[in-house]
Amino acid sequence: MMTPPRVVRRRHGLLAALAAVLFVAGLLGVEHRDDGWLLKVGGAKVDLYGAAHVAWQNTWRDCRPLRRAPPGDPQTETALQALREFSPPDSRSAVLRQADAWPQGWWVLQAEFDRLEPVLVLLYESEGRTEVVAEGVWSSTTLPWHSAWRIRGFLAGRVPQAPRALLNCIDPLPLFAQPPRLPG
């Protein structure tokens, strides 16, 4: 007895669908690392939770009080000098990549150095003096984690006195998503 063509097509369709599902499943996986989960897609690690968290924060955050401070501005130079004096001698080579000012004396600087990893640092200005908040220093890469999610969360846990709205407005530069520098 011969199988009807309609049944053969259905079987072939089911086999093709099963093959496609198995192929996709072979590309996907999860990995537990540090204190979170990463999605693995074809061997590449993706911080899906971090990306979703940042997208959610970015939809409701209000960054209007944040002011991008221009290089050469006296207040920016004062903040940069505070960073350069934070951990000499290596910190003296700080090259400012971005400076953001927030009302009530808060600053976020992103900088690179000759021999140190890049840094994103919180500074606070009080009574005419700008100082690095020692607990508010992120240095090095965030790989494989989403930079904004990782750094915002780190700073929120370490510097609870910092305005939450400021922390939500921190947008790390791509230099924090690079592999660490090799000692040299």
Express each pLDDT in 16-45 by its tens digit: 776 666 566 566 777 777 777 877 888 788
Q: What pLDDT is recorded for position 20?
A: 67
Residue 90 has pLDDT above 70, yes or no: yes
Residue 48 lies in a domain: no
Domain range enclosing 93: 63-177
165 and 118 in a common domain: yes
On whether residue 140 sits in a domain, the answer given is yes
pLDDT top residue among 47 and 131: 131
Burial class (CB in 10 A: 0-12, 13-18, 19+), 130: middle
CA-wise closest residue to 146 among 62, 56, 59, 49: 49
Which residue's entry shows tokens 């100082």? 131
| Any domain includes 52 | no
Same domain? For 26 and 103 the reply is no
Between CA 163 and CA 165, with CA 38 as vertex, the angle to 5 degrees is 10
Within-domain flag for 13: yes
> Pairing relation of β-strands 44-46 and 95-102?
unpaired
pTM: 0.79
CA distance 124 to 109: 11
Number of structural domains in the chain: 2
